[in-house]
Structure 1
Amino acid sequence: MRKYFIRGGVSLNKVRLGIIGIGRIGINHARIATTLDNIDLVGYCDIIKEKANYAGSKYGVKVYYDYKEMVDCVDAVIVCVQTEIHYEIARFFIENRKHVLIEKPITINVIEAENLIELAQKKEIVLSCGHVERFNSAVIALNDIININNIISISVKRMSPMDYRVKDIDVVSDLMIHDIDIILSLMKPYKVINVMAMKSIVKSDSKERNHADYCVAQLEFENGAIADLTASRVTEKKIRKLYINELDRFIEVNYLDKGLTTYKNFTAMLGESSICNKDTKYQEESLIQKIFTNSRDSLYEEQKNFINAILGLDKLKVTGKDAVEALKIVKRIQEKIYA
């Protein structure tokens, strides 16, 4: 049933949106927000005035240097600041009954995340988290073809060149969390029963903060399936690939080009060696199938879903509960590598 957002007793079909934090992700959210018809873009906020001014002049909207100043002008916000202040900003807007999309990870710790979820439920607002790979068209197609009961293992590699931009979180919270979220969503309802992990610290600022730059983790699920994950922010090639080994099929996902390929062995009949006894020769062949996926912008789809969920036009695809479940596995991995 089609619903509309209610503001001041009036039904509306647009959401007044503010974007907080104008870094790489924030500026992309800003670009997308100008293209969606059901968004009334209110303005951008950043404590660095030059960033806020740049976004404001580029897209012709108001700028703010203090997020609290925009609270009466918005219905929803997208929070793209450092993880350590996610909770403070999100809680402020939720308390004021504003819908919130927070970039991943949802918060620094599980307690903060659970507090936000509880408050969002109490205030009856939409709380989502930026697990953008859920909106990757190859991942969406993957959900349609996998057989969860046939999965033997999942393997994923998310590797990038040296990144000096992210300093407040380690590679598990920064990169591996994407794939943790995807794997948990693929493996539902099965739970993780065991976690193993190792790490390497490479960058000088990472050594100061004791933050892993390279991590290998293994998750064991209650149905016997195993997932191994590698995340690196010190590798001289950008790799984003996921592999699923099923009982009778192998599946490869390339997050970067949204490619999805399946491999399956089958028995091909070559011919009959004798007409009388009909003895038949066979040969094992490999059937390779490339599955078509669209090339839509994943961040665009994420933001559209958030806005449509507010308006009652779509079901929210990444909930606060999803985000906290991924964060819990992140913390279990971190307990292993920093023990």
Structure 2
Amino acid sequence: MKKKLRVAIIGCGRILPMHAVPATVLEQSELVAVCDIRAERAKAAAEKYGCKAYTDYKDLLKKEKLDAVHVCIPHYLHPIVSEYALSCGVNVLSEKPMAIDYESAEKCVRTAERFGLNYGVILQCRYNKSAQLVKRALLGGRLGKIISARSTLTWTRPDSYYAESDWKGTWDKEGGGVVIDQAIHSMDLVNWFIGDTPVKVDVSIANRGHEIVKVEDSAEGLITYRNGVRYGFYCMNNYGCDEPIEIRLLCEKGKAVLTYDDACISYDDGTNETVVEQGSDIVYEGGKDYWGFQHIKQISQFYNAVLGLEPLEISGREALKIQKLICAVYESGKSGRPVYLNEEKK
């Protein structure tokens, strides 16, 4: 490959290895700089990955001739930094969520489209082998149409977890709790599988087990789609450990059951398809098991899009689908009333 993309990473927190390792090992890219408002963190990351350190992202974007930037900072800052980078002519790959509201996320999408730039959003679980198997079965017609779906997530995020951060567990900086930070991935997968527009979101949220934060640690609800599919979900982070998430799909020609690591499809004709994730040969020092191993696949695909080799798969426009749903979940949960989308109230 002749051209290597000059890339930088803004934010040197816990998620850094999932971006820095791919940026250094993939043949499409050269990691030229990292940036963090904490000088010691930026310096440590720069030394580890062999690049420059910055403490001001505007200074970084001004001085380095970048092709792309990874945005890995607190949620509320995602659209602010992403839009600025896009306005500087730099392609952006943002960690999820795009924002903590819909309007600023949509604004970033419009900015990227206006400048003809790639704006991607990390939803790496779509690249899990389990998710890919189910999506292929749906697109190929072998499972038929989805009739109904459900997802469950029971993880642990004790008060000590939130005490370590100055932004986690806050409405104004993280945007919420278990829904926007943990369940967003499983909810995105179900929304992606269904492939239609939600029209009614009826949700309840509560904080049942935390003392130091006010955001929700429990949520359940029913989401109804234009095509008639009903999706029920439950999530909470008061459990004693991180159990595997589970998604179940009832379809016209069979059933699918999947976690992030494996999937089993049972067809009505008596046949089955299964897949198990084999892990990764790449070591992400400090990475968490629940992040999976697919960041590198999405990052490589994003780089190919920036190089003009293929269309961007998970664009900002695509990510707006789950962003809109998450915002509706919170609107319904906070108000105690159903939220109707793209359809007159019935």
Normalised TM-score (structure 2)? 0.82
The residue type equivalent to 1:152 in the other structure is I
Alignment pair present for 1:250 and 2:255: yes
Does 2:304 match 1:298? no
Q: CA deviation at 1:155?
A: 1.2
Match of 1:178 among 150, 168, 185: 185
Q: Which one of the candidate residues 131, 155, 170 is aligned to 2:150?
A: 155
Identity percentage of aligned residues = 24
Aligned-residue offset at 1:328 = 1.0
Mapped partners of 1:139, 1:304: distance in 2: 18
Task: Indicate the residue corresponding to 1:283 in structure 2.
Answer: none
Q: How far does the alpha carbon of each residue in 1:1-42 deviate from its partner, in whole angstroms, 9 at most, with x for none?
A: xxx9xxxxxxx6211000011112123211221111110111
User: Shift of the alpha carbon at 1:295?
Assistant: 4.2
Counterpart amino acid of residue 249 in structure 2: I
What amino acid sits opposite 2:147 in the alignment? I
Asked if the contact 1:94/1:125 (under 8 Å) is kept, the reply is: yes
Q: Distance in 1 between matches of 2:36 and 2:76?
A: 15
The answer (yes or no) to whether the contact 2:249–2:255 under 8 Å persists in 1 is yes
Match of 1:121 among 107, 113, 123: 113
Question: What is the rounded CA distance, in whole Å, between the counterparts of 2:75 and 2:212 in structure 1?
Answer: 17
2:128 to 136, 157, 160: 136
* Deviation, structure 1 residue 287: 4.9
Provide the C-alpha distance between the structure 2 equivalents of 1:25 and 1:318, rounded to a whole number of angstroms: 19
Q: For 1:289 and 1:319, how far apart are their aligned partners in 2?
A: 30
Cα distance, 1:79 vs. partner? 0.3
Distance, in Å, in 1 between the alignment partners of 2:180 and 2:86 is: 23
Between the two proteins, the alignment pairs up a number of residues equal to 304
2 CA distance for matches of 1:13 and 1:328?
36
The one of 218, 226, 230 aligned to 1:226: 230
Range moving further from structure 2, 287-296 or 38-47: 287-296
Q: What is the distance in 1 between the residues matched to 2:268 and 2:186? A: 27
Cross-structure match for 2:213? 206
**Residue 245 of structure 2 aligns to a residue in which SS?**
strand
Mark the structure with the bigger radius of gyration.
1
Matches of 1:241 and 1:55 in 2, distance apart? 35
Question: 1:196: which partner in 2?
Answer: 202
- TM-score normalized with structure 1 length: 0.84
Shift of 1:247: 2.8
Amino acid at match of 1:307: Y
What SS does the corresponding residue of 2:103 show, helix, strand or coil?
helix
Q: Which residue of 1 aligns with 2:17?
A: 27
Letter in 1 for 2:149: I
Q: How many Å separate the matches in 2 of 1:140 and 1:252?
A: 13
Aligned to 1:108: 100
Q: Which residue of 1 aligns with 2:35?
A: 45
For 1:117 and 1:290, the matched residues in 2 are separated by 37
In 2, are the aligned partners of 1:137 and 1:298 still within 8 Å (CA)?
no
Please list every run of 5 or more consecutive structure 2 residues that lacks an aligned counterpart in the other structure: 281-292, 336-346
Q: How many angstroms does 1:292 deviate by?
A: 5.8
Shift of 1:309: 0.6
Q: Which residue identity lines up with residue 40 of structure 1 in the other structure? A: E
Shift of 1:128: 0.6
What secondary structure does 2:126 align onto? helix
Q: Is the 8 A contact 1:16 1:40 kept in 2?
A: yes
Give CA deviations for 1:132-180 in whole Å, capped at 9, x if unaligned: 1112121112111124753111111233211425322322211222223
User: Which protein is richer in strand relative to its size?
Assistant: 1
Offset at residue 217 of structure 1 (A)? 2.1
Q: Which amino acid in 1 is paired with 2:125?
A: E
2:325 is paired with a residue whose SS is helix
Question: Is residue 20–residue 26 contact of structure 1 (8 Å, CA) maintained in 2?
Answer: no
Contact 2:155–2:239 under 8 Å retained in 1? yes
Partners of 1:78 and 1:102 within 8 A in 2: yes
Tell me the residue number matched to 1:322: 318
- Structure 1 residues 172 and 292: alpha-carbon distance in aligned structure 2, compared to 1, 3 A threshold: closer
Aligned AA (2:105): A
**Shift, 1:64, TM fit:** 0.7
Any idea what the Cα deviations from partners look like across 1:298-336, whole Å, max 9, x if unmatched? Answer: 011011111111001222111111222211111111111
User: Structure 1: which 5+ residue stretches go unaligned?
Assistant: 5-11, 267-285
Aligned to 1:332: 328
Cα deviations by residue, 1:67-107 (Å, 9 ceiling, x for unpaired): 11211412110001001111221111111100001111101
Q: Hey, what's the Cα distance between the residues in 1 that align with 2:17 and 2:273?
A: 37
